[in-house]
Amino acid sequence: MAKHHSGSFFNGILLGSTVGAVVGLLVAPRTGKETRRILKKSAEALPELAEDLSSTLNLHTHNLSHTARQRWQETLERLQTAIAAGVEVSQATTADLNHKPEAAAETQPLSERAS
Q: What is the pLDDT of residues 97-113, one digit of tens each?
A: 888 766 555 666 666 65
Confidence (pLDDT) at 34: 82
Instruction: State pLDDT tens for residues 7-60.
Output: 678 778 878 888 887 777 677 777 778 878 877 887 888 888 888 888 988 999
Predicted TM-score (pTM) of this structure: 0.45
Beta-carbon contacts of residue 18 (< 8 Å; ≥ 6 apart):
46, 49
Beta-carbon contacts of residue 47 (< 8 Å; ≥ 6 apart):
none
Q: Domain coordinates of the chain in residue numbers? A: 2-113
Separation CA 46–CA 14 (nearest Å): 11
Query: Phi and psi dihedrals of 95, rounded to 5?
Result: -65, -40
Helix pair angle (2-27, 32-99), 10° resolution: 160
Confidence (pLDDT) at 82: 96
Separation CA 40–CA 46 (nearest Å): 10
Specify whether the CB–CB gap between 64 and 7 falls below 8 A.
Answer: no
Confidence (pLDDT) at 31: 77
The residue ranking higher by pLDDT, 68 or 33, is 68
pLDDT at 1 over 50: no
Confidence (pLDDT) at 53: 85
Specify whether the CB–CB gap between 35 and 28 falls below 8 A.
Answer: yes
